[in-house]
Amino acid sequence: MPISKGVAKQVGYKKETTFGVLAGNTSGKLLRRVTANFNLAKETYESAEIRTDRQVADMRHGVRSAEGTLNGELSAASYADFMGSIVGKDFVAVTLGAAAQTTVTAVGTVYTLVRATGSWLTDGLKVGMVIRATGLTTSGDNGKNLLVASLTATNAVVVPLNGSTMTAQGTASSVTITAPGKQTFVPVTGHTDDSYTVEEFYADIAQSEVYTGMKVNSLSVQLPATGLTTIDVGFSGKDLTQTGTTQYFTSPAAQGSTGIFAAVNGVMLVQGAPVALVTSADFAVERATENATVVGSNSVADIFTGRIRVTGNLSVYFQDATFRDYFNAETPVSLVLSVTADSSATANFVAFTLPKVKLGSFTKDDTEQGLTASSSFQALLNDVTTAGLAATTIQIQDSAA
């Protein structure tokens, strides 16, 4: 008898129309993964009967549910569906505008798009958004990925994502700004409540397991100083609904091929300024879930969703008092983490913006050489939007979503 191998396993998924009801078997997608594990779970009940033989005479199975974990190496578009589900909003394209009489000024590696009339804020730009410009007088600066570091009505301070320079330049009569890909964020109202049908198909032993009602309950991203950026996604689900010997999803879309991100490619901003002291960063988005159990059903009737929380950690070289003072004074700061697939001017990217963060700790190590300090943090709903920070806990932009 053959033994199944991971290279022969395919994990497909599709968003459901109705919770717990099989999504149609067409238009599924195959997941990119390092590991993926989806399993049936059951409550068990041990008899408490007191017997003269002093033994347990029975144990029964109870309510059925499903659970899943997915670990991957972060790349554009590959996990966008699950990012949208955890924050409660699908990715959507962002339409920006055109600005007349725009110049570019330079201070070191930070550049400012200065417009004579109109407002970047009114046009829809946000801090942490990656934009591209056309119509600048220096043609080589058109089309580059530019991370918005800070905003006023007439000034958009930007940092090229690939570490290249821009040219201070004179007035362009008309500059068009676009935001590549799509964007999502935790909304104030109208949260989505997505669920998925997920299939694990073991092609080498002809076994299919199809799970329904799979909701995303956690998503975490790890950005090490060296190495690949990784992502972990957790699921709570209704049931193992169907098994068989043929693949449920017919002709699912192939696994993507966008470039995998390394944390060394990209830009990190704290309070609108590029920071090169961070040795590692991670954050987790958790959406509280609770299984609804009812009499007469052997699987969960629903999975209730609650608050969306974002927490994380930073490790920085101990160079000055900046991060210590943020912690000591309980000062809210903005945090932007952006990663790219390569160093080209138009590389695929994902940008995460946490508009309002409070540090929860500041602890230093003691080693022979470079000292680091570690801080935990919690992201909060931002209530000050006048400087172009979104009214949300986390904002995500994916260039290929």
Residue ranges of the domains in the chain? 14-40+66-91+185-398, 98-180
* pLDDT value for 163: 84
pLDDT digits (tens, 9 = 90+) for 268-323: 999 999 887 788 999 999 999 999 888 878 889 899 999 999 999 999 889 889 99
* Mean pLDDT along residues 4-18: 97
* pLDDT value for 398: 98
* pLDDT value for 310: 98
Residue ranges of alpha helices (H) inside 23-146 are 80-87, 120-123
* pLDDT value for 297: 83
pLDDT digits (tens, 9 = 90+) for 62-88: 999 999 999 999 999 999 999 999 999
pTM here is 0.95
Nearest alpha-carbon partner for 132 in 112, 148, 111, 115? 148
Q: Does the pLDDT of residue 225 top 90, yes or no?
A: no
* Percentage of residues in the chain having pLDDT higher than 90: 88
What token pair was written down for 91? 């990715």
What 23-30 contacts at long range (C-beta under 8 Å, 24+ apart), as own/partner pairs, is 23/196, 23/197, 25/248, 25/249, 25/250, 26/249, 26/250, 26/251, 27/253, 28/199, 28/248, 28/249, 28/250, 28/252, 28/253, 29/81, 29/252, 29/253, 30/252, 30/253, 30/254, 30/255
pLDDT digits (tens, 9 = 90+) for 179-217: 999 999 999 999 999 999 999 999 999 999 999 999 999
Band (pLDDT 50/70/90 cuts) for residue 249 is very high
Nearest alpha-carbon partner for 18 in 241, 243, 245? 241
Query: CA-CA distance, 396 to 272, in Å (whole number)?
Result: 17
Cβ neighbours of residue 293 closer than 8 Å, sequence gap 6 or more? 63, 300, 301
- What CA–CA distances, in Å, run from 64 to 15, 118, 177, 376? 21, 58, 51, 36
Cβ neighbours of residue 365 closer than 8 Å, sequence gap 6 or more? 371, 372, 373, 374
Q: Which CATH number fits domain 98-180: 2.60.40, 4.10.780, 3.30.1050, 2.40.30?
A: 2.40.30
Residue linked to tokens 């799509």? 182
Nearest alpha-carbon partner for 340 in 108, 146, 81? 146
pLDDT digits (tens, 9 = 90+) for 19-53: 999 999 999 999 999 999 999 999 999 999 999 99
* pLDDT value for 241: 97
Alpha-carbon torsion, ordered 135, 139, 143, 145, to 10 deg:
-110
